[in-house]
Amino acid sequence: MPMTIPQLFAALRKAYGPTHWWPGDSSFEIMVGAILTQNTSWRNVEKAIADLKKAGLMSPAAIASANLWELQRAVRSSGFYRQKSRYLRALSRYIVDHYSGDVGQMKRRRMHELRDELVDIPGIGDETADEILLYALGMPSFVVDSYTRRLLKCLGMDHRGTYSEIQSRFEDALGNDAKAFGELHALIVTHGKAVCRKSPHCCSCPIARRCPSRGEH
């Protein structure tokens, strides 16, 4: 019998404790990090964030009007720098044009309407939109990523379905609680980085002691 989502949450909490996610000095910096970390290690992202700050480019207005070459140079260490510099510009121009460059005004929007606008911005898909909503704006939108699907599969839990279907399962199980959403996703990633890095399964880890297919991998 596979464990439930609340049971998974409890097991991860016991194993890894509070995570203090998402690291960042401002809501906008968290949005920038969400784009820069796409398929990229956080170590490389930290360097790019530091370089953006050194260049005076950690605000929507600054990035929206930045010299393209300067912007590309600042984010280069995060990889895919031609795409990501374009994505950061698109996000920044959206914030300048729709919210006067003030990220705080975004919090007044209704979440699902805002989400629809975010995913229309080039470079922002389902996962990045939810990271922005959840960690930058404190809204209750659960983040589903590759670690999430991998862990569900490893534990014999239901890992099928679209992004939206998996997201709904977590949101229904956790009760529309932004704090819980943020902490569980952070724990899933923390766990994934700790034990699931090189393998599609993790049956030797503390969480997977209850994995029904343990020993069959």
Partner DNA sequence: ACCCAGGCGTTCT
Partner DNA sequence: AGAACGCATGGG
124: contact with DNA by CB under 7 A: yes
Both structure tokens of 120: 């229309």
125: contact with DNA by CB under 7 A: yes
Distance CA(162)–CA(137), nearest Å, equals: 24
Q: Which residues of 164-173 are buried (b: 16+ CB within 10 A; e: fewer)?
A: eebbebbbeb
Compare residues 38 and 59 and give the one whose CB is closer to DNA. 38
Compare residues 75 and 174 and give the one whose CB is closer to DNA. 75
Interface with DNA (CB under 7 A), residue from 108, 113, 198, 216: 198
Pattern 68-107, binding to DNA, x per CB under 7 A?
--------xxxxxxxx------------------------
193: contact with DNA by CB under 7 A: yes
Compare residues 122 and 212 and give the one whose CB is closer to DNA. 122
Amino acid at 121: I
**Three-point CA angle 124, 22, 180, nearest 5°:** 95
Both structure tokens of 97: 């044009």
Close Cβ partners of 157 (under 8 Å, ≥ 6 residues apart): 2, 3, 5, 8
34: contact with DNA by CB under 7 A: yes
Site residues (CB under 7 A) for DNA, limited to 10-29:
21-23
Compare residues 4 and 112 and give the one whose CB is closer to DNA. 112
> Do you find a cis peptide bond into 22, omega within 30 degrees of 0?
yes
Distance CA(161)–CA(110), nearest Å, equals: 26
Distance CA(136)–CA(29), nearest Å, equals: 8
Site residues (CB under 7 A) for DNA, limited to 170-189:
189
Interface with DNA (CB under 7 A), residue from 11, 31, 123, 170: 123
Residue 76 DSSP SS3? helix
Compare residues 135 and 170 and give the one whose CB is closer to DNA. 135
Chain residues in the site for DNA (CB under 7 A): 21-23, 33-34, 37-44, 47, 76-83, 121-129, 131, 135, 145-147, 162, 189, 192-193, 197-198
